[in-house]
Amino acid sequence: MSSSTKPWDSGNRMILGYIIGETSHSKVTFTATEPPRVGEYVLVSYTGNGRPERLALAMVEASFIGNPLLSIEEVKPEFVSKAQAYGGEMVEYNIGRARILSWADTLAESGVVETPTYPPRPGAPVYRADADVLKKIFAREGGGRVRIGVLVNHRDVPVSVDVNAIVSRHLAILAVTGAGKSNTVGVLVDRIVNDLGGTIVLFDMHNEYGEVAGENTHFVEAKIHPARLTLHELFRLLHLDEKAHVQRRLLRQAYRSAEKTRYQKPEEFLNEIKRELEKLSEKKSNKPKVAEVLEKLEDLLDEYWEKVITSNASISLEEAVVPGKANIFKLGGVSEEVADVVVHHYLNWLLAERKEYVASSRRGEGKAKGYPVPVLTVIEEAHILLPGDRGTMTKSIAGKIAREGRKFGVGLCLVSQRPKKLDEDSLSQTNNKIILRLVEPGDQKYVQSASETLSDELLELLPSLNVGEAILLGMMTPVPALVKIDRSTRKIGGGDIVVHEEWRRHVDMVRKISEEASKYVMMPDD
């Protein structure tokens, strides 16, 4: 159909089709002049009963093509060739099914979602949503928003996300390996830091990230000052589980006694604990258990001193986590157990200092104490540190941040390629989600159970998403969006190894070494 004969309404909008069948306040089925694209937006007309026309934004969740000559119930194999011979495609029809999201005018003008409470009339027109309307909804600027990509079905429409909503209501980024998860993290971190002056703490489990925010990247060694070790972090590092009642009691006593001099000679804190333990061993009944704790403490110092626990580590939080930077903790060289302690340590420290800052600000103190700016914390490979089948220190503090962090400006972002192994309670408390390609049905259903807005139709889209395509849900975006994430220009790992190139590089290296060595082989005399 030529552009001159396309049907347009009086508002110069293109009519895509008309509503058919029964309608509801949340879903409509409509005919279409061409197959609707799943994930695209349409405008549903509400008319009649003396009301002026009003438009609602809806997202296409299913698209069908039918042919009355080839219905499943009646067609025989030989009918197909006959229908094709007689021009059967001439009677094909297109059907779309869409979910109504909000009145378009309130959404475009104020960003407020206002859902219709009554259904549109059958026969009412359905318009294709044009770029101008969609830009007002998805490309809003200011107010703590950063661009993340473009709409998949409307590539001329940028999409921004509300960072305030991410920090206050938390975020999960979920995808299979190779779907664009690390790139998504990189784009968000870069723009939050460089466009908004935000502060990020990223716990990098596999040392994948380079200068993700350019010159505003700050790499942090995964080290803890001995004077800052909490009692429960010591329990974890010394392998004193809850059943070791006596050993934990003795260490607690020594720890409490040593606390009095903790900040007088901070580098001596662990030695002070040892001295207090030795005092406790003077009591005969304590001697065997104290000896066991002292041996574990010696083992701890042998294994972790200078590698993880060192007096060279920052004792001031602002030295470790620099405001206005992407602070990346490189955890690739430590065990999962140590990573658990390090992540807990800094998350716990951040939350405590943000609480102190907010409290002292409210008291009107001249110079507020504590950490001065809000922080978004990002945990890569979150299923390792927040597993669903066992307790960890990180899971405990992450849960606390999920519940309390919004009051103090500490946000949580969980990144995982195995959602099914991630703690469900932690996942369900991330009200915003960026879901890239997910193939495994168990992962899909697990994510859906932890999300209030992931419909069955959107769930069906997950296995077919291309690399870098994602479904955005939650308060960070006004309505669900199917987005092509921008490509980060920074150095980010996480990509697949090109195996044949690695093999060829190794073969060439061995050949070169062999050729160089042959030059120096002495030939025997005749």
What pLDDT digit, counting tens, does each position of 345-355 carry? Answer: 999 999 999 99
DSSP letter at 245 equals H
Mean per-residue pLDDT for 9-15?
A: 66
Per-residue pLDDT at 255 = 92
Mean per-residue pLDDT for 178-190?
A: 94
- The pLDDT confidence band at residue 305, using thresholds 50, 70 and 90, is confident
- Separation of alpha carbons 392 and 452, rounded Å: 27
Mean per-residue pLDDT for 175-200?
A: 94
User: Is there a contact between 436 and 184 (Cβ–Cβ < 8 Å)?
Assistant: yes
pLDDT at residue 408 greater than cutoff 70: yes
Per-residue pLDDT at 6 = 35
pLDDT at residue 260 greater than cutoff 90: no
Mean per-residue pLDDT for 186-207?
A: 96
User: Is there a contact between 374 and 197 (Cβ–Cβ < 8 Å)?
Assistant: no
- Separation of alpha carbons 154 and 133, rounded Å: 11
DSSP letter at 7 equals -
Burial class (CB in 10 A: 0-12, 13-18, 19+), 175: buried
Among 169-173, 204-208, 266-270, the range scoring the smallest mean pLDDT is: 266-270
Per-residue pLDDT at 8 = 34
Per-residue pLDDT at 51 = 74
- Separation of alpha carbons 326 and 213, rounded Å: 6
- The pLDDT confidence band at residue 5, using thresholds 50, 70 and 90, is very low
- The pLDDT confidence band at residue 387, using thresholds 50, 70 and 90, is very high
Per-residue pLDDT at 405 = 92
pLDDT at residue 13 greater than cutoff 70: yes
More confident residue, 81 or 54: 54
- The pLDDT confidence band at residue 80, using thresholds 50, 70 and 90, is low
- Separation of alpha carbons 377 and 220, rounded Å: 14
User: Is there a contact between 415 and 181 (Cβ–Cβ < 8 Å)?
Assistant: yes
Mean per-residue pLDDT for 161-165?
A: 96
Integer CA distances (angstroms), 61 to 27, 458, 479, in order:
10, 7, 14
User: Is there a contact between 447 and 435 (Cβ–Cβ < 8 Å)?
Assistant: yes
- Separation of alpha carbons 331 and 190, rounded Å: 20
On whether the pTM is more than 0.75, the answer is yes
Q: Which helix (H) or strand (E) holds 203?
A: strand 200-204
Mean per-residue pLDDT for 209-238?
A: 92
- Separation of alpha carbons 340 and 353, rounded Å: 20
Q: What's the one-letter identity of residue 72? A: I
Residue in the block written with tokens 């658990």:
340
pLDDT at residue 119 greater than cutoff 50: yes
pLDDT at residue 149 greater than cutoff 90: yes
- Separation of alpha carbons 451 and 432, rounded Å: 9
Q: Hey, how many other C-beta atoms are within 10 angstroms of the C-beta on 135?
A: 17
Which one, of 138, 117, 10, lies nearest residue 56 by Cα? Answer: 117
User: Is there a contact between 296 and 239 (Cβ–Cβ < 8 Å)?
Assistant: yes
Average pLDDT, the chain: 86
- The pLDDT confidence band at residue 514, using thresholds 50, 70 and 90, is confident
Q: Which helix (H) or strand (E) holds 75?
A: none
Per-residue pLDDT at 177 = 86
For residue 499 the two structure tokens come to 């195996």
Mean per-residue pLDDT for 26-55?
A: 89
pLDDT at residue 71 greater than cutoff 80: no
Degrees (nearest 5) of the Cα angle 440, 445, 450?
130
pLDDT at residue 7 greater than cutoff 50: no
Mean per-residue pLDDT for 383-403?
A: 93
For residue 444 the two structure tokens come to 């899909």
Per-residue pLDDT at 396 = 94
pLDDT at residue 135 greater than cutoff 80: yes
